[in-house]
Amino acid sequence: MIASIPAQAQPAPTYSWTNLPRIAQPSFRKDTLNVLAFGAKPDGITLNTNAINSAIVACSKKGGGVVLVPAGLWMTGPIELKSNVNLHLKKSATLLFTPDKSQYALVEGVYEGKRAARNQSPISGKNLENIAITGQGILDGNGDVWRAVNKNQLTESQWQEKVASGGVLKDDGKTWYPSEQFKKASVGNRSMLLTDGKTPQDFADMKDMLRPNLVVLTNCKNVLLEGITCQNSAAWCLHPLMCQDLTLRNLTVKNPEYAHNGDGMDVESCKNFLIEGCTLDVGDDAICIKSGKDEEGRKRGMPTENGIIRNNTVYNGHGGFVVGSEMSGGARYIFVSNCTFMGTDKGIRFKSVRGRGGVVEHIYAKDIFMKDIAQEAIFFDMYYFVKFATDGERDVRPVLNEGTPIFRNMKFENIVCNGATKGVFIRGLPEMPVRNIVMAGLVLKAEKGIELTDAQGITFTNVQLITEQTKPVIALDNSSNLTFDTIQYNAGTSQLFAVKGERSQAIRMSNTDLSRAQTKAEFSQGATEKQLVFSATK
């Protein structure tokens, strides 16, 4: 049944921890142009859009080099990068993007994997080669002038300050909108998708709601973002789309906790990428892998592949390392290591839904350290769905077709989590279980241990579960070919296993002390005792 879905062609060579992908780095001429020479003024008032863009164009026409932004507060409108240019922000240089929305043109962009009308991004580049933004300065998107905010996301004093700043309230008084136009479009559930021959200008009456991502780089090669702080975006902070040889190094990425769609970095349909040494504290997913949504993503057919993610720290965020839910083009050969997640909603997060399609495979994570995770430390869910105006009809029948998402062939090693609601949660589909996942060397302190539903071929080796709830420690529902080897759990545990469902089969536990549990296992809803085999145990 599973074999009826064609597998994606495997890349060559096959990557591993001893043969990691190689990411080409850009290089630039030493020629430097200072934006001051083009009339820019760092007074926080003068609009420097023309001066900065003129410097970038002049530098590119000369064959490239460095455009220098000295220390100062530089108010500006949208900046467009050009090939062979390194935009370098000195320490204490802040590019503050103007709150005047009329400065941002309506353009064709992408919203969650689909063509959509958007306001022009504060920084953008398309079909470029050899580009960079470097230094120790700050990109500030002035995002609060763009965002709606719910009352329950703010303290009472923050809410009163927001209301006093202008804007309008939803009729129930629980949501603040930047403008009446934004409110009307939001309450009316207007879609921003470019369909039926529509152009961006057709959306002028909802322009205020079309929040831009801070940095959008589309179909670019040899890209470097290094050292800078990216903050206060109206929506996603960093969105490289269909780029090749991408490096995000030593960045600080910040968005308020209440920032709707306030993702840190969304790497979409990119090939050969490196994310290292970054610190993120954001309002949505932090480091996120995407590849398009539903049929449009499948037609694009560009997986996010050949990536290295290492030595990063994530504070607030819906997930530390995330794949999905827009992953219809697939994802593969991604290596995540030496990352710390502190206070995120989830740690390692995979999400999709029927109708997405796509194959996510060969994801490897090791040496991941988590503390105070609000929900699950390791999370797979094939039932993730939030209804947006941009969502069309999808086939959600429980049958195998091109819209069936496939998550398989991964390995997680040396994962430590001190504090979570659940240690491991996997929920696949009856017609397509999450399968062939190896988890080894885990230490998980959580309220609950392991919960698997429609999972197949999952192996746990050398796992320590320190759980508040011990009835059960491991819950299995219609899952098969499971191996538990050398599992440590609390002494005096009430119940080790709860096994449900007639598809729960071929479950093995070995090298584990069973005397620590008052009850080894309970079976229900068609599960039978003979499907759980204990061997080499005490």
Active-site annotation, residues? 284, 318
> In angstroms, rounded to a whole number, what is the distance separating the alpha carbons of residues 176 and 378?
34
> In angstroms, rounded to a whole number, what is the distance separating the alpha carbons of residues 297 and 426?
24
Cβ burial, residue 64 (10 Å; 0-12/13-18/19+): buried
For residue 13, whether the previous peptide bond is cis, meaning omega lies within 30 degrees of 0, is yes
Cβ burial, residue 83 (10 Å; 0-12/13-18/19+): middle
**What b/e sequence results for 358-380 when a residue is b if at least 16 CB atoms lie within 10 Å of its CB, and e otherwise?**
bbbbbbbbbbbbbbebebbbbbb
The helix/strand/coil state of 227 is coil
Answer left, alpha or beta for residue 150, where phi above 0 means left and psi between -120 and 50 means alpha: beta
- Amino acid occupying residue 470: T
End-to-end CA distance of the chain: give it in Å, rounded. 39
For residue 472, whether the previous peptide bond is cis, meaning omega lies within 30 degrees of 0, is yes
The tokens of 71 are what? 């220390």
Q: Provide φ and ψ at 310, rounded to 5°.
A: -150, 150
